[in-house]
Structure 1
Amino acid sequence: MRDMAAGPRVLLRRLRELMAEPLEPQERLDRIVREIAQNMVAEVCSLYVLRADSVLELYATEGLNPGAVHLAQLRLGQGLVGTIAASARALNLSDAQKHPAFAYLPETGEEIYNSFLGVPVLRAGRTLGVLVVQNRTKRHYRDDELEALETTAMVIAEMIATGDLARLTRPGLELDLRRPASFAGLSFNEGVGLGHVVLHEPRIVVTNLFNEDSDEETRRLEQALGSLRLSIDDMLERRDVAFEGEHRAVLEAYRMFANDRGWVRRLEEAVRNGLTAEAAVEKVQSDMRARMLHMTDPYLRERMSDFDDLANRLLRQLMGHGPEVLAATLPRDAIIVARSMGAAELLDYPRDRLRGLVLEDGAVTSHVVIVARAMGIPVAGQVKGAVSMAENGDAVIVDGDEGRIHLRPQPDVEAAYAEKVRFRARRQELYRELRKKPSSTKDGMHVDLLMNAGLAVDLPQLAESGAAGIGLFRTELQFMVAATFPRAEAQERLYRDVLDAARDKPVTFRTIDIGGDKVLPYFKSVAHEENPALGWRAIRLTLDRPALLRTQVRALLKAAGGRELRIMLPMVTEIGEIMQAREVIDREVRHLSRFAHDLPTLLKLGAMIEVPSLLWQLDELMRTVDFVSVGSNDLFQFVMATDRGNTQLSERFDPLSVPFLRVLKQIADAGHRVGTPVTLCGELAGRPISAMALIGLGYRSISMSPAAIGPVKAMLTELPLETLAAHLEAALEHPNAAKNMRADLLAFAEQHNIPL
C-alpha cells in the first residue's frame, strides 16, 4: 500500500534544499515549480503573485509558455486563479474549462489542460498569491495532494513576506504585502497620530519550517499542547476568575478549542507531511483564519480572535518565547496595535514615544482607553483585522476623530493627515498663548476652567494646559492599573504628589469609584449583575466595605496635612449616604488627631450629582455639602435611559437636547439660590459648543480633559455671556422650545463669531 505522506515529505525535503542554495529569486521559483510538478506528476505547475493593484501576475511556471511569465495577468476575482485569491479557498476541478469562472489566457497555452488544482498562498490569513497544478487527463486530485500543495504554498508565502520577490517586480508596481489598507472602527479618543506599528504581542516568526524527524515533532507538539491546556486550567482555577463572568467564558472557550480534536488532527497531519510543530501551527492557523474571515456568521468570525490567541500561546510554548518587551527598542513615533490590553500594560510604554493606540476589541469605557485618554493619546477601537494585517514597522495613521486607521498609507493620504496634524499643532500654539490671559467671557464674567486627572502622568499637564486646578481627580485609576489593592502608603504618596504639583491650585479628590464598568480583577464584588451601571458601585460599595473608604480617607488626610482638602463622593442617591460617609471621615480625623498627625487646614466635603433622585433633594443637598459636581456622563444616561456605551444609541439622544439642558439649569439655579459652588465635570465640559451652553446656563466652573482647555478657553474669551444667557433662557422657557438646540447654538456661535 502506498505511503500517502511520502510524496509531501519528499517534496518538502527538496524545497528545504532549494531554499538553502544560493540562488537568484527567479531561478529559485523556477526550480520550485519544477519540483512540485515532478513530485505531484503534474504537467503544469504555476505560481501567481498578487500585486498591490489587485492584479495576479504569473511569476513562474513549469509546463505553460515560459514567455508568459511576468506578462500573463488576472484581476482579483477574474478566472479560476482570481476566484481562489478572492475567496482564499482551494479549487479542485476535473474539467476546469466547464467552470463558470474559467478565463482563457491565450499567451499561456493552457487550453489543452483539463484537471486543475489551485490553492491560495496565505500568510496570517492574507492571500499573497495562488499556486496551481494542471493535467491533461480529467481527474480529481487526492486530499494528500491538496495538503502537499497547501504546505508548499506556505513556504512560498514566507519567501514573499521576506521581500525576496520584490526584486522581480517591475518599476512602479508593488507586491500586495505592502498594499495600503484602511479599516473603519470607532472613535475612542480624539486626535490624529502618524507613526509606525508596534504590535503589542508581536507575531512570532517561524523560521524553521521543515522537520527532520516527524515522530520527534509530534512529541513536541503533544508536549506543548499539554502545557497549554494546563495553563488554561490554571487560569480557570484562580480565584479571580472562579465565578461567572465574560472573562471566564472566554477562558472556557479557550479550553474547548485547546481540546478540539479536529484542530489537533490537522496539526498532527501537517507534522506528518514534513513541517515542524511550529510551522504546522502557523499553517493550520492561517488556513482557519482565511476560511473564517469569509464566513457571514458574525459570532463565528469573532471566534477567530480566540483561535489566534490560542495559536500564539501554542507557538510561544513551542519556541520558548516569553512576553516580549518592546519598550527598549520602541520607535519615537510608536502606534501600539493590539487586540486588547490592560491599562497597566499601556503605562509600560514610554509616554514620549507614543503617538496612538489601535484596539481590535474594547469599549470607550475600557480601563486602557481611560488611561490613554488621560495620556492624551488618540485611540481607534473595534478595528477588526488590524493585528493580522499589520507588521511591526509599518507606517500607520490613527484618526481618533473618525475611528479609522490607514496602514501603509499612500503619499497623498499621509500628506493630508500630516497637514491636519500641523494645523492642530498651530491651534495648540494659539491655545498656549491663551494660558496667560484671564479665563473670562467677552463681557467680563470669570469662569474656572479645571482639568480632570487620575494618574501621576497627568500632573505635568496642570501647568501646560493653564488649568485653574483639578476639578476631578479619579482616585480609582490607581487601583485599576495595579495588580493588587494599592497599600495605604502608596495611596498617600500619590495624593501628596498631586497636591505638591498643584501648589496653591485646588484639587478635588473623588473617592474610589469602582463597580459597574470599572472592574478590578483582584476584587471580587458580586458574581453577576444584570445592570452593573445601576448596581453595587461607587459610594454604595465603599459604605458596604468601610475598610476601603477608611484606608483611602486616612491616606488623603495625611497627604493633605497643612493644606486644604476637598473630598467628593460619587453616585450619591440620597442625603443619608453623605451622612454615613461624613461619619467615616470624622472618625479618621479623630484617630489621626489622637496620634498628633498634621491635619488639613480646611476639609470640604462634596457630592456628585449623577443619580436623578437628587434632583428632588437639591436644596437639602446644597445645604448638606460644601460643593457639588455634576457628573454629566452618568446623569445623562440615567435621565434619558440611554446606555452611553451602546453605539446604536450614540446618535439618537443628544446631551444638548431641551430636556437635559433644563435639568442642568435646575441644578445650576439651586446652587446659586443656596450659595453652594457647582462644577460640571464630564464630556460636556470638554467640547466648546456644549461648554458654551453650560456657561450660558449659569455654570461658573467646569472640569475637562487637559487637551480640551485650550479650545474651550478660545471660545470663552469671545463669548457675549449676557446675550447667550438671555437667548438660552427664552429658548428653554418657550412652550415650543427649539427641537434642535445644537443647531440653534451653532447658529448663535456663527452669528457672534465664536470659535468652536
Structure 2
Amino acid sequence: MSSKNNKTSAWGGSRRLLKLLRDQMKGKSTNQERLAQTVNLIARDIAAEVCSIYVMRRGEHLGGEYLELAATMGLKPEAVYKTRLHKGEGIVGQCAALALPMAVSDAPRHPNFAYRPETGEEPYQSMLGVPILRSGRVLGVIAVQNVTHRHYDEEEVEALETIAMVLAELIAGGTLSVSALETGGNQDELEKPDRIKGLCLNEGMGIGQAVFHNRGIVISRIIADDVEEEVQRLELTVKEMRLSIDEMLTRSDIAALGEQREVLETYRMFAEDRGWVGKITEAIRVGGMTAEAAVQKIQNETRSRMGKISDPYLRERLADLDDLANRLLHHLLDLGEDKPELPDEFILLARTLGPAELLDYDWDRLKGVILEEGSPTAHVALVAQALELPIIGRCRDVLTRIREGDTVVLDASNDQVFVRPKEDVLATLRTSVKDKKLRWAETSAIRDWVPETLDGNRISLNVNVGLLMDLPHMHACGADGVGLYRTEVPFMVRKSFPGVAEQAELYRKAMDRSEGKPVVFRTLDVGGDKVLPYWSSIAEENPAMGWRAIRIGLDRPALLRQQLRALIRACAGRKLSVMFPMISETSEFIAARALLDRELEREKTIGGVLPKELKVGAMLEVPALIWQLPALCREVDFLSVGSNDLMQFVFATDRGNTRLARRYDALSPGVLRMMREIADATHQAGVDLSLCGDMAGHPLEAMALIGCGFKSLSMPAQQVVGAKKMVRSLDVDSVTHFVTSLLNKPDHSLRSDLEAYAKSSGVVI
C-alpha cells in the first residue's frame, strides 16, 4: 500500500480524525468498545493495515514496568491482554523507553524487533510507534503497521503524535480509562508501612500528610473552531501570565528570598521569548489546535528534546520550562487561584516541580517535598534551601506507593521516606525531627569552621555554580570560593548568543557577588548533548565524545575569543582564573592559551584595564591527557580533574545509562592509583590541583582523594558542611598511608575498606 496514494495531507487527515474521536467519546460505549473504535479510526485515517494501543502497566511479579496490548485492529483479537513487552523490549518497548517516535520501514530486520507469535503479525513489514505522553510520563504506545516497506514521513509521525496527545488527555480526564484494566497491583500493599529510598536535595526532616501536586490540567478541547480566535486568545493569555509573574516578583515574601528571585526572572525571560510563543502559535495555525492543546504539544516536544541531555544540571532546567507551560495552561483553562483546603502539616509529592510552583504553597504548612525525579542542581532545590525546607528526589514509584492522606515522614538527611509508619515508630521519628532542629543550630556554626585536618593540613573546599543565584550558597556554606563556574548555563536559557558586553556584565556580577573569593570560570562546554537552542545541530552517535567544549572553541575561534574578551573586561583590575574544558592534547591548551594572549594584547592596545592577576588552567577529563602531564604542567597554572567525564571515559561507561550506574566504582584501585599519579605529577611540577565532580561531594570519596594527594575539592554547596566535618576529623598522613596500602589490591571496589578505616579512625563520613 503506497502512503503517497492513500493519504491526504497528514494534518488535514488528523484534524478530521480528531473530530471523529471527539464525537465517538460522547457516545455511550464501554471502555473496551471505545478502545476498539479508536484503533479502527486511526488505522483507517493513516491508511494502515494494523493499529494497536499498548498501555503501560506495573507488576513486580513481572519484573517492573511492561506494556500490554489493550486494543488492536489487524492483529489477532485473542492477543489482547495477553501480549506483553517489557519496557525497552521490541520496537514498541523501545519507543516507550526512549519516549520518542520509532518509524521503521523493515521492522523484522530491526535489531530491537521482538516476535510475538500469538499476534499474527508475520505479514507486516513496516511499523510506526508513538508514545502516549502526559507530563513527561509514558502512558502507553500507539503502533501502526503496514504490509509493504512503507517510509513514514514527518507529517505522518506528527499527526500520530497529535492523536497520542489527545488519547493522553482523554485518559487523564477519565473519558478513556486504562486504570480499570490494571494488573499486577496489590491493594493490601498500600495499607502496610513502607520505606522508600531517594536522594537528598536539601537536608532536614518533616512529618505530614501526603498531598499530591495536582495541577488540575485536563485538556478537553483539542480542535479549534476558529484558528485566528485561538491565536488571539493565546496572545492575550500570555500577556496575562506575564503580568502575574510581575505581580509575584513584587510580593514581600518573595522579595525576602533575595537571590532566589532570579528564578522568577528566568521565567519572565522565557515568557518574553518570542520563539517559544511562536512555536505555540505555529502549532495552532498548522495543526488547527486550540491554544491549550498547542501549549501541551510544544511542552511534550521540549521535554523529549531536553530529555536527551545527559548533564543533570541542564536537564533540571526542564522543570522550569514545565512550570512556565503549566502556568500558561492554568490561565488558558481559567483554573483560577482556588485551591482545596490543605492539612495543617503536609508533605508535597510530585514527579517534578518548578520553583515558582513551590512558592504557590503555604510555607507554614508545607513540611517537605518528595519528587520522583530531581537533582541537587534543580531550581526547586535551591529555593527549598532558602526556605529551609527538606526535599528528596529520585524516589522511584513514589506516586504509586503512597496514597493521598497517608502519614509520611521525610528524612532527607538520610535519603529516605517512611510511609504509613506504626505509632511507636512515628513517635520515635517525631523525636528525631525535634533533635534535628536542635542540631541544625549546631550545623550553622560549622559553616564558619576552617577545613583544616587534625595534623594541620588546610584543604580548600569550593562550590560548583552555573547561575548568579547559586553564588549566595557559597557564602552560606562557608566555602573558600567557586571551583567551577559553568559559563554555558546562561547561554542555554537565552534566545540568541549573548554579545561581549552582555557576557562581561554577567561575569562582572559573578565577581562582585563572590565578594573577593576566587572564581574559576570554565569556558563554554557546549555541543554534544548540550546544544544551544539557537544553534543548528548534527546528530552524533557518541555526543559525549563528539564536537564539544574546546573542540568547538578552537574550530570557531571567534566565539571563544568573544568569551575571553568578556572575561578580561569583567575582571579588570581583579584576579582572573580561566579554565579550558575537554583538553585532549597539550597542543590544544597551547592553542587556546594563544587566543587568550591575543585578547589580552588587544585589550592592552585599546587602553583597557587588564586583570591584576591571571591564572590559566585545563580540565583533565580525557584519559589521554594523563600521559602528557609533564608537558602539560609546563604550560598550565593549575589543573582541575573533571571526575564525571573522566570516570565515563576511563570505564567506557555512559553515565546516563541506568543499567551501568553501579557497575563501576570510583573507589576502585585503578581509579585511586590514577588519581595518585595525577597528584604526584602536578606536585612535582608545582602546579595547583583540584577536583570538581561527584567524587568531591561525598565524604568517603573526598577522604580517599585527600589520601591520594588532593588538597582542593569543588562540589555542590549543600555538600560543603559534610566535607568540613570529614576534613576536621582526618589525619592526612594516616589516610595517605592507608590508601597507598590498598592500591595494588585486585578488588572491584575499596569502598568497604575505606568505610572500615573511617569508622576505626573516627573520621566523620
TM category, shorter: 0.5 to 0.7
Determine whether 1:587 maps to 2:598: yes
Q: Which residue in 2 is equivalent to 1:465?
A: 477
Offset at 1:600?
Answer: 0.4
SS in 1 for 2:658: coil
Tell me by how many angstroms 1:721 deviates. Answer: 1.5
Amino acid at match of 2:603: L
What is the Cα deviation at residue 550 of structure 1? 2.1
Give yes or no for contact 1:367–1:480 (8 Å, CA) kept in 2: no
How big is the shift at 1:565? 0.4
Partner letter of residue 482 of structure 2? I
Residue pair 1:738, 1:744 contacting (<8 A) in 2 also: no
Following TM superposition, by how much is the alpha carbon of 1:566 offset from its aligned partner in structure 2, in angstroms?
0.1
Q: Percent identity?
A: 37
Q: Contact 1:380–1:399 at 8 Å: present in 2 too? A: no
Q: Where do residues 297-336 of structure 1 align in structure 2 (5 Å cutoff)?
A: 320-321=332-333
Q: 1:607 to 1:614 in 2, by over 3 A?
A: same
Q: CA deviation at 1:639?
A: 0.7
The answer to whether the aligner puts 1:659 opposite 2:670 as a matched pair is yes
Q: Which residue of 2 aligns with 1:452?
A: 464
Partner residue, 1:636: 647
Contact 1:679 1:699 in 2 (8 A): yes
Q: Decide whether aligned partners of structure 1 residues 154 and 421 sit closer, same or farther in structure 2, where only a CA change above 3 A counts.
A: same
| 2:762 aligned with 1:753 | yes
CA displacement, residues 663-698 of structure 1 (integer Å, 9 cap, x when unaligned): 111110011111101001111111111111111111
Between 1:367-376 and 1:605-614, the stretch displaced more is 367-376
Equivalences for residues 332-731 of structure 1 within 5 A? 378-381=391-394, 383=396, 386=399, 424-526=436-538, 528-731=539-742
State the alpha-carbon separation in 1 of the partners of residues 383 and 524 from structure 2.
19
Deviation at 1:622, TM superposition (A): 1.2
Match of 1:298 in 2: none
Q: In the alignment, what sits opposite 2:751?
A: 742
Opposite residue 506 of structure 1, the aligned amino acid is P
**2:205·2:410 contact (CA, 8 Å) conserved in 1?**
yes
1:285 corresponding residue in structure 2: none
In 2, Cα distance between equivalents of 1:676 and 1:464: 29
Change (3 A) 1:742 1:381: closer
Of 568-577 and 588-597, the range deviating more from structure 2: 588-597
Contact 1:374 1:458 in 2 (8 A): no
- Residue 451 of structure 2 aligns with an amino acid whose one-letter code is S
SS in 2 for 1:652: coil
Q: CA deviation at 1:325?
A: 9.0
1:203 aligns with 2:216: yes
Q: Secondary structure of 1:678's partner?
A: strand
In the aligned structure 2, how far is the partner of 1:744 from the partner of 1:227?
69
List per-residue Cα deviations over 1:63-121 (Å, max 9, x = no partner).
xxxxxxxxxxxxxxxxxxxxxxxx9x9xxxxxxxxxxxxxxxxxxxxxxxxxxxxxxxx
Tell whether the 8 Å contact from 1:610 to 1:634 is kept in structure 2 after alignment. Answer: yes
Once the two structures are TM-superposed, the CA of residue 479 in structure 1 deviates from its matched residue by: 2.1
Cα separation, partners in 2 of 1:333 and 1:499, compared to 1, 3 Å: farther
Shift of the alpha carbon at 1:463?
A: 2.2
Q: TM-score, normalised by structure 2?
A: 0.55
Q: Secondary structure at the match of 1:617?
A: helix
Kept in 2: contact 1:493–1:559 (CA 8 A): yes
Distance 1:426 1:581, change over 3 A: farther
Describe the shift of the 1:744–1:389 C-alpha distance in structure 2 as closer, same or farther (beyond 3 A): closer
Change (3 A) 1:402 1:446: closer
- 1:223 corresponding residue in structure 2: 224
Would the aligned equivalents of 1:183 and 1:386 in 2 still touch at CA under 8 Å?
no
Where do 1:243-254 residues align within 5 Å?
A: none
- Compute the displacement of 1:524 (Å): 2.5
> Do 1:316 and 1:322's aligned partners in 2 also have CA atoms closer than 8 Å?
no
Structure 2 Cα separation of the partners of residues 488 and 404 of structure 1: 46
The 1:341/1:753 distance shift into structure 2, 3 A limit, reads: closer
Matched-pair contact (CA < 8 Å) for 2:373–2:393: no
Q: Is the CA contact (8 Å cut-off) linking 2:224 and 2:288 kept in structure 1? A: no
Bigger mean CA offset, 538-547 vs 411-420:
411-420
- Decide whether the 8 Å contact of 1:338 with 1:387 is kept in 2: no
Closer, same or farther: CA 499–221 of 1 in aligned 2, 3 Å: closer
Question: What amino acid does structure 1 have at the position aligned with 2:224?
Answer: Q
| DSSP-derived class of the 2:660 partner | coil
Deviation at 1:338, TM superposition (A): 5.5
TM-score computed with the length of structure 1 as normaliser: 0.56
Distance 1:511 1:747 in 2: 40
Structure 1 residues 320-342: Cα deviation after superposition (integer angstroms, max 9, x where no partner)? 42798999x99999987665678
Amino acid at match of 1:203: G
Q: Judge which range, 193-202 or 502-511, deviates more.
A: 193-202
- Per the alignment, in what secondary structure is the counterpart of residue 509 of structure 1? strand
CA distance 1:419–1:475, shift in 2 (3 Å): farther
Q: CA deviation at 1:9?
A: 10
Q: Which amino acid aligns with 2:759?
A: E
Query: What amino acid does structure 1 have at the position aligned with 2:680?
Result: D
Matches within 5 A, 1:140-179: none
Cα displacement (A) at 1:507: 1.2
1:696-752 deviations in whole A, cap 9, x for unaligned?
1111111112221211111111212211111221221x4x45554111111111111
* 1:70-89 map, 5 Å: none
| Aligned partners of 1:224 and 1:317 also within 8 Å | no
CA deviations 1:470-493 (Å, max 9, x no partner) are 111111222234444344333322
Residue 650 of structure 1 deviates from its aligned partner by 2.1
Contact 2:352 2:371 in 1 (8 A): yes
Q: Secondary structure at the match of 1:223?
A: coil
- Give, in angstroms, the shift of residue 525 of structure 1: 2.9
Partner of 1:457, secondary structure, is helix
The aligned residue for residue 247 of structure 2 is none
Q: Which AA in structure 2 matches 1:492?
A: A
CA–CA separation in structure 2 for the residues paired with 1:568 and 1:705:
18
Q: CA separation of 1:432/1:372 partners in 2, compared to 1, >3 Å: closer, same or farther?
A: closer
1:496–1:559 Cα contact (<8 Å) kept: yes
Deviation at 1:512, TM superposition (A): 1.7
Could you say what secondary structure the match of 1:530 adopts?
coil
Post-superposition CA distance 1:256-289 (Å, at most 9, x none):
xx999xxx9xxxxxxxxxxxxx9xxxxxxxxxxx
- Supply the AA of the counterpart residue of 2:764: P
Could you tell me how far apart the structure 2 residues matched to 1:366 and 1:433 are? 24
Gaps of 5+ in 1: 11-86, 90-123, 125-149, 158-174, 207-216, 232-246, 265-277, 279-308
The one-letter amino acid paired with 1:727 is F
Shift of the 413–322 alpha-carbon distance from structure 1 to 2, 3 Å rule, reads farther
Computing the radius of gyration from Cα coordinates, the structure with the larger value is 1
Partners of 2:592 and 2:350 in 1: CA distance: 41
- The Cα of 1:656 is off from its aligned counterpart by 0.7
- Contact 1:496/1:560 (8 A) holds in 2: yes
SS at match of 1:702: strand
Shift of 1:356: 6.3
Distance 1:672 1:557 in 2: 29
2:500, 2:349 → 1: CA distance? 35
Structure 2: how far apart are the matches of 1:480 and 1:423? 42
2: CA distance, partners of 1:635 / 1:670:
17
Q: What does the per-residue CA deviation read over 1:234-268, in whole Å, with 9 as the maximum and x for residues that have no partner?
A: xxxxxxxxxxxxx9xxx9xx99xx999xxx9xxxx
